[in-house]
Amino acid sequence: MIKRVKPYLDLKLIGILSLFYFIFVVIYASKNAYLRIYSKRQIDWGEFIFANLLDWVIIVIFMMFIAFTTKLLMQKKTKLIYIISIHLFFSFFIGAFTIGLSQIVEHLKSPWPMKENSIASLFTSYIRLIDLHFLIYMSLVTMIYMYYYFQKIQESKIQTIKLQDQLSKTHLKFLQSQMHPHFLFNTLNGIHSLMDINIAKSKSIVVDLSDLLRNVLEKKDQNLIELQEELEILKKYIHIKKARFSDQLNIHLNIEEGLENVLVPNMLLQPIVENSTKHGYDKEHLSLDITISIFRKNDKLIVKIKNNGKELKDKLSVLLKKGTGLNNIKERLDSLYNNDYKLKIYNKSNSVITEVNIPIKLSISQIEKGF
């Protein structure tokens, strides 16, 4: 029996109702005490306090039943007309319940035979307080429904957040699964084009690619990795690129000290460098200098990749539609940081600069070092 009732009784709700009605009883009792003192009527303080406490206990017991009934009606998805009818009935019954239970307690204290004038007096008391009891009941029922309404909203918000988190993780998994083949195909195309020129160097690149892929695949399920790990992957990729382009490609790293354990999106740098080499070369730019600068500015990590290659003709919005790599970065940044990041590509001083600003987040290992 208790197990059946327990799901429909909320102790927190009962506590709120009890507190609310206790405040009402204190105000109501204070008003009556003042009026009696003002009219110079004698007060039996023991009886006065007992009567008000008894009223509070009776109403709390009654409201426990109403809270139970309300939750049951909501769970059973009862029709609105039935719910209104039930509450209207109890709003008129609460007075009879309160007065009746009070009389039973009084009778237990000092047994006395019930007379006709006593019954008439009780009925008069019921009629005299019927409007007050109606308002009390409706106020408490409104609180019950408000409590369950806000509880439902909170549960809905939590459920929405969980769903968004699941969708975000699923989306990131898809993007990363898209990124890895894209990276692999670009690298294999580079090896293929080199094979006709230098087979020995092509074999060397295949070995480097094997090491690089092993490193990349180890991190394939991680959305965020430490900067030092991302740089390790980038250096292996640069080694492959340098082998292909030889003296035509120079890459410089300017990394601020102390940022090794900052978390960055997995495979952030490689596709930007890939874009620089893919779009930077033309007849007027036969050699390419790429400078990768990473530094802290306030609470942001700034990543700037500058190349002295061919000038940009299109805006970022157009570039995002043209290539998989850049669009993939944009979508992953959206999923990981919402609007708390910046991605810019612009021309400046005969250079093309790709800039990414993201919030600084430390890995667990670095946080633990601080304690």
Instruction: At 271, list the tokens.
Output: 């596709």
CA 354 centroid distance within chain: 31
Task: Classify domain 197-369 by CATH architecture.
Answer: 2-Layer Sandwich (3.30)
Q: Which residues contact 55 (CB under 8 A, 6 or more apart)?
A: 25, 98, 102
User: Could you tell me the pTM of the whole model?
Assistant: 0.51
Kindly state the DSSP code that residue 266 receives in the 8-state scheme. T
Work out the burial of residue 369: count CB atoms within 10 Å of its CB; fewer than 13 is exposed, 13-18 middle, 19 or more buried: exposed
- pLDDT tens digits for 27-52? 888 888 888 887 777 777 777 787 77
Indicate the average pLDDT of the chain.
Answer: 77
In this prediction, the residues of the chain whose per-residue pLDDT falls under 50 are 1-2, 116, 167, 170-172, 174-175, 177-179, 367-371
CA gap 60, 68 in Å, rounded? 12
For 162, list phi and psi in degrees, rounded to 5.
Answer: -65, -40
- pLDDT tens digits for 214-223? 776 776 667 7
Domain range list for the chain: 2-159, 197-369
